[in-house]
Amino acid sequence: MKPPPFAYCRPASVAEALSLAAEAGEDAKFIAGGQSLMPLLALRMSRPSHLIDINRLPGLADLRQGSDGLHVGALVRHAALERCDRLSGPWRALREAAALIGHYPIRLRGTFGGSTAHADPSAELPVVATAMNATFIARSSQGDREIPASDFFAGPLMTVLEPAELLIGARFPAPAPRTRSVFEEFSPRAGDFAFASTAVTLTTHDDGRVRSARIALGGVGAVPVRAGEAENVLQGEHLTDGAVREAARRAAAGCDPSHDAHAGAAYRRELIATLVERALARLREEP
Amino acid sequence: MTYADHRADHHSGPQTRDSWLEPDDRAQFDLVVNDQPVHVRAPARCTLADALRQQGLIGTRLGCEQGSCGACTVLLDGQPIRSCLTLAVQAEGCTLETVEQAPPSRELHALRRAFHQHGALQCGFCTSGFLMLAVGLLRDEPDATPERVREVLSANLCRCTGGVPILRAVLAAQQELTGGDR
């Protein structure tokens, strides 16, 4: 189908975008790359009264690493993350996840802010943001509001962003030394929505024992969830086959996936066990 | 350290629209399509795919209209995009390439011949989308591995060929374009 009617504007600055959003009211939406919103419009699942086009706003496409961590601007394209070979070590999960989003033309246009604000339960970047303990930065006429990833996602396609707030980016905190991360997902075909996914960040002691682990799961709840029991069981352990399998088992046992026409709950739980095991095995075997 | 943001700001157009274009209004704006200036008059909700077809550029196909099939792939400022997932007005001031490009770019020329030689089409509905997707890839990543080409081609759907002849054709065109040194 064709998108429903809406009013449209393309402001020149973030400030102007915010005042237009305030003027337009709660049924207005921001559009950037449009790779999530346009299908919703075509399917008439979303009927915004106004669209505020932020796709060309300057200053929101920064991908910047500093002593306080990594800043990812809302307009950073998935392809830019995917191609940034400096996103290795502690940031690797971000790059691996970006490479698995939709298809190549979608990744060239889709944005970090768009995907996270859209908050699809099967989306990759929300899972990475959860594992990496990112903080989202929302701007309104009242100033900036910082929202931890653990509070940001409110349900399927829902976040705690207010109508007149614009997500301008996220800050990923600087990792402890000896931290690495990976991302794993399963989808029936390349580019399909994932049935289940996991992002794991792991910090080790000098002798290889786990100092801390953060394991986030996607596709098994309304929002990304942490596998707390699996994280705890790894604490102080070497990543032996036994420890890896036990963590995978606990991650699967601790999540409560729903089932739909594509995959049942038991199947998704098995996928989680497999994906967490794969992720941890890679963290053990890959430098 | 600031990472160079590879063409994320590829939209060159300086144009902004700082007052509301109302739902019933028609926006008037210019695009450059295949090196020709094109004046578009369309409401905000008109997709780029529809705007192109209304200009008579019906080589760009409309398949699913929801971003699944890739039949409407065109190049926007050099990058392959799904033109059903972009509003026409969002492309204001941008440069577009479609399958109608004449004379064709060297990539499009090589790909067309390779599609013909390798039987990479039957009904032809998906062909223009695949051609533009492959043009974008081979221009941006001339040395893409066969695995990478296959991965990128998975973006578009073909119900006739099974996809393998398309992969073969794109790899053959790539070999021709890179002087056969792969």
Q: ipTM of this predicted complex? A: 0.94
Q: What is the pLDDT of residue A247?
A: 98
Residues of chain B with Cβ-Cβ distance to A12 below 8 Å are 16, 18
Point out the residue among A1, A76, A190 whose CB comes nearest to the CB of B5: A76
For CA atoms B4, B8, B9, B10, the dihedral sign is: positive
Q: Which residues contact B7 (CB under 8 A, 6 or more apart)?
A: B77, B78, B79
Per DSSP, A33 falls in state: S
Q: What would the pLDDT profile of B116-163 be if each residue is shown by its tens digit?
A: 999 999 999 999 999 999 999 999 999 999 999 999 999 999 999 999
Per-residue pLDDT tens digits for B33-87: 999 999 999 999 999 999 999 999 999 999 999 999 999 999 999 999 999 999 9
Q: State the residue range of the domain holding A280.
A: 179-285
Pair A106, A130 in one domain? yes
Same domain, yes or no, for A76 and A137? Answer: yes
Pairing of strands A7-10, A50-53: parallel
Specify whether A184 is located in the same domain as A270. yes
Q: Which of residues 92-131 of B touch A (CB under 8 A)?
A: 92
pLDDT per residue as tens digits for the range A63-96: 999 999 999 999 999 999 999 999 999 999 999 9
User: Which residue's entry shows tokens 């039949």?
Assistant: B71
Domain count, chain A: 3
**pLDDT band at residue A191 using 50, 70 and 90 as cut-offs:** confident
Listing DSSP states for B8-34 in one string gives TT-------EEEEE-TT--EEEEEEET
Contacts of B21 in chain A (CB under 8 A): 7-9
Query: Are A168 and A186 within one domain?
Result: no
Among residues B22, B56, B169, B62, the alpha carbon closest in space to that of A6 is found at: B22
Q: Which two tokens stand for residue B28?
A: 């008037």
Helix ranges, chain A (H)? 14-24, 37-42, 78-82, 92-98, 104-109, 112-118, 125-131, 149-152, 228-234, 241-254, 265-285
- Residue A2: inside a domain, yes or no? no
Spatial separation of the C-alpha atoms in residues A97 and A100, rounded to whole Å: 5
* A122 and A212 housed in the same domain: no
Structural tokens at position A120: 């699809």
Which residue, chain included where needed, has tokens 């996928």?
A271
Residue B1 has pLDDT above 90, yes or no: no
B36-42 and B95-97 beta bridge pairing: unpaired
**pLDDT reported for residue B181:** 54
Within a domain: A76:
yes
Tell me if residue B94 falls in helix, strand or coil.
Answer: coil
Q: Which of A173, A192, A208 is the last residue of a domain?
A: A173
- Among B residues 59-98, those touching chain A with beta carbons less than 8 Å apart: 65-67, 70, 73, 79-82, 84-87, 89-90, 92
Q: What percent of chain B has pLDDT over 70?
A: 91
Chain B residues touching residue A65 (CB < 8 angstroms): 1, 3
Cβ of B50 within 8 Å of Cβ of A75? The answer is: no
Domain annotation for chain B: domains and CATH numbers: 22-97 (3.10.20.30), 106-178 (1.10.150.120)
**Chain B interface, best mutation among A14, A16, A36, A38, by max B CB count within 10 A:** A38
- What CATH number should be reported for the domain holding residue A217? 3.30.390.50
Summarised one tens digit per residue, pLDDT across range A205-243 is 999 999 999 999 999 999 999 999 999 999 999 999 999
Quick one: which of B180, B121, B136, B80 has its CA closest to B113?
B121
CATH assignment at residue A22: 3.30.43.10
CATH code for position A136? 3.30.465.10
Q: Give the start-end residues of each E strand in B36-158.
A: 36-42, 73-76, 79-82, 95-97
In a domain, A265, yes or no: yes
